[in-house]
Structure 1
Amino acid sequence: MNIIQKNLTKHTMYTLVHKTMGTVFTTQIIANERLSQCEEKKVIKHQRLLENYLEQVDARFSTYLNDSEVSLFNRGEIKITEVSDVFIFVFSSCFAAKLATNEAFDANYNDKFDPSGFVKGWSIETGLNNFLKPLFKIEHIQAINLIGGGDMQFETRNGSNWVFDIGIVNPYSKKEIIKTLALTTGAIATSGISERGEHIYRRNKSVLQATVVGTSLQETDVWATALMVNPKASLPKNITGFVFYALEGDENVKNS
């Protein structure tokens, strides 16, 4: 397993990359001193646990795999009473998200259940909490970030001066940053047409991109999708959103 090491001002960043679910997952670990060989081995151990977990999620929820649990369910080969507990959690969470967003987020597509809009954010958040956060036992580690398809769940050690400077790209040009956010712990999700094209039904075709910031990626990812469908949706008080319109630029979304 390859660890990319980059020296920063007063810190060192360790990066590990894994491809699954049709996207790239990037682990970033920030340390205030160079990690020892023993500490690097611990990082690799936890990264492997994370990668195994992500592969299990993909095997269960990928609509592109004929033998995945979601494919079996959609073909009627297993009933809702026969699915796994984690499938029930995702199924019920998607239904709750549909209600919370007034149907702007909907995991049902052409009468089939497709939870991909929920699963990626949820698996990133769960993966960081279960497999990467234990690395804070290494005293030199100051912050941890897990990125998947541009969405991020990140955490900074209490008392650390580390700040993540997160740039939101222009949907017209990936090389241009339209907004920069300085954050320490939380989640950020962006939904738009620049990466995957027209994969979301947009009531307002001038909406090109939506970014949502909060504490939970499974929540922010849902609301980023919802804002693409309904940019005037009222957000929960614990999250903030930004919508980028064609010709109009960036507009803050009011919280409920």
Structure 2
Amino acid sequence: MTTAARPGLRRVEQVMGTAISLDLADDLPTATLHALADEAFDWLREVDARFSTYRPESEVSRFGRGELSFAGASADLRGVLERCAELWRDTDGFFDAYATGGLDPSGYVKGWSAQVASDRLLAAGAANHCLNAGGDIRVRGRSAAGRPWRIGVRHPWDAGATCLVLTGTDLAVATSGVYERGHHVLDPRRGEPARGLRSVTVVGADLGVADAYATAAVAMGPAGVAWLDRLADHTHAVVTDDGRLLHSTALPLTD
């Protein structure tokens, strides 16, 4: 007996220096699914070209060197800079696009770009999808199996394991951690790598904001836990450097 193929499409590409996966779970024509995936990845590559701090010719690099004025920047760059300024205020300066001395909005851009891609997919009729941009994840609707999406949060000491699993049909999940690059997130007040929190996961409705909040909490160190507790409309999970797992009671955990 044969089993009918599940609807949808899965694609993985290397963009922004990381593997980005897209799962489209709607029962749409194959050509339509491939066109939607093409548009999503074209957008992410456009963002990479414009916002990469590793490319001297990128727009963000030229702006950082003073070769491009704010008025002469693209609408996307102006919007990102304005949002970063707002997030700097919202986090009491702990999310700082200038923390390293030069302009680097990466702590917002990856989540923001994935959120925009997800919004466009939804508007185009792909109501059921999962976009995973290197650990920044936006899910909507249900998987091809008809169930809510399950999102594993990587165990900070074991790359092959998860420390918890989330589930939902409309979630933005961003994780900032030190398990791959060490303590690389700077405390902007001291100008030194922050310590105390090994992994911070923030769950909300907007992936760019969740991404920035997760980065800010890591930068705060242990004080970031109390700050996360005060956030409205967001839940979180934190793994401390000494191995404690702390999380919001309302975190959408799998039963």
1:249 to 244, 247, 252: 244
- SS of 1:208 mapped into structure 2: strand
* Counterpart-to-counterpart distance in 1, 2:113 and 2:66: 25
* Counterpart-to-counterpart distance in 1, 2:170 and 2:123: 12
Structure 1 runs not aligned, ≥5 long: 1-6, 137-141
* Counterpart-to-counterpart distance in 2, 1:59 and 1:200: 23
2:43 to 48, 53, 60: 53
1:25 is matched with which residue?
A: 20
Shifted more, 228-237 versus 78-87: the winner is: 228-237
1:186 to 171, 195, 203: 171
Structure 2 runs not aligned, ≥5 long: 188-192, 251-255
Map Cα deviations across residues 23-67 of structure 1 (whole Å, 9 max, x no partner): 111101225x6x6xxx11111111111121111111111111111
- Corresponding letter in the other structure for 2:15: T
Q: Tell me if structure 2 keeps the 8 A contact 1:146–1:154.
A: yes
- With normalisation by structure 1, the TM-score equals 0.84
The CA deviation at 1:176 is 2.0
Map Cα deviations across residues 101-155 of structure 1 (whole Å, 9 max, x no partner): 111111113431111111100000001111455243xxxxx72011101110111
Structure 1 consecutive aligned stretches of length 4 or more whose deviation exceeds 6 Å:
none
* Counterpart-to-counterpart distance in 1, 2:19 and 2:186: 24
Tell me which protein shows more strand as a share of its residues.
1
> Given the alignment of the two structures, is residue 233 of structure 1 paired with residue 227 of structure 2, yes or no?
yes
* Counterpart-to-counterpart distance in 2, 1:162 and 1:133: 21
> Given the alignment of the two structures, is residue 149 of structure 1 paired with residue 144 of structure 2, yes or no?
no
- Corresponding letter in the other structure for 1:228: V
- SS of 1:114 mapped into structure 2: coil
- Corresponding letter in the other structure for 1:176: A
* Counterpart-to-counterpart distance in 2, 1:65 and 1:128: 26
Q: Tell me if structure 1 keeps the 8 A contact 2:8–2:33.
A: no
2:102 to 88, 112, 116: 112
Map 1:91-170 onto structure 2 (within 5 A).
91-131=81-121, 133-136=123-126, 143-156=128-141, 162-170=147-155
Q: Tell me if structure 2 keeps the 8 A contact 1:227–1:243.
A: no
Map Cα deviations across residues 186-208 of structure 1 (whole Å, 9 max, x no partner): 11011001133332025762310
2:59 to 65, 69, 73: 69
1:4 is matched with which residue?
A: none
Alignment RMSD (CA, Å): 2.4
* Counterpart-to-counterpart distance in 2, 1:13 and 1:212: 28
Q: Tell me if structure 2 keeps the 8 A contact 1:70–1:113.
A: yes
* Counterpart-to-counterpart distance in 1, 2:94 and 2:249: 16
1:3 is matched with which residue?
A: none
- SS of 2:167 mapped into structure 1: strand
Percent of aligned pairs with the same amino acid: 29
